[in-house]
Amino acid sequence: DTGVSQNPRHKITKRGQNVTFRCDPISEHNRLYWYRQTLGQGPEFLTYFQNEAQLEKSRLLSDRFSAERPKGSFSTLEIQRTEQGDSAMYLCASSPQGGSSREQYFGPGTRLTVT
């Protein structure tokens, strides 16, 4: 069990550029979640996948955000035309199917800074 991994760990980009983050969940975890955390706040839910199906997308996600999980394994989160307000820690979590599926385990996060 190698844990949830995320890449890159840090990303600095200029306003207007596109960025893409990757998340590799714990192996055999079929549920994957994206959250965003800003300074002084708790993580806020963005979107949820069960296998390859994206089952919910938060109202926090504007049309500039898109997430995919094409084969039900890793996931990508893309932000188009970044804005300074997108600066945050982007967290990925995963959970298994079954009785313990209520517990979510977070990766190290990707810290995005938009200048």
Partner 1 sequence: QKEVEQNSGPLSVPEGAIASLNCTYSDRVSQSFFWYRQYSGKSPELIMSIYSNGDKEDGRFTAQLNKASQYVSLLIRDSQPSDSATYLCAVRGGGGSNYKLTFGKGTLLTVNP
Lookup: tokens for 99 = 């009785």
Among 8, 28, 55, 83, the residue binding partner 1 under the rule CB under 8 A is 55
Question: How long, in residues, is the chain?
Answer: 115
Burial class, 5, CB count within 10 angstroms (exposed 0-12 / middle 13-18 / buried 19+): middle
Query: Minimum CB separation from partner 1 for residue 100, in Å?
Result: 9
Q: Which one among 88, 109, 112, 114 touches partner 1, defined by CB under 8 A?
A: 109
Site for partner 1, residues 79 to 98, rule: CB under 8 A: 89, 91
Buried b / exposed e over 98-109, threshold 16 CB at 10 Å, is eeeeeebbbbeb
CB of 81 to partner 1, least distance (A): 26
Q: Is 43 in the site for partner 1 (CB under 8 A)?
A: yes
Which residues face 34 on adjacent strands?
47, 92
Residues 6+ apart with CB under 8 A from 10: 110, 111, 113
Q: Which stretch binds partner 1 (CB under 8 A): 43-51, 60-68, 69-77, 80-88?
A: 43-51
Q: Which residues bind partner 1 (CB under 8 A)?
A: 31, 33, 35, 40-45, 48, 55-56, 89, 91, 102-109
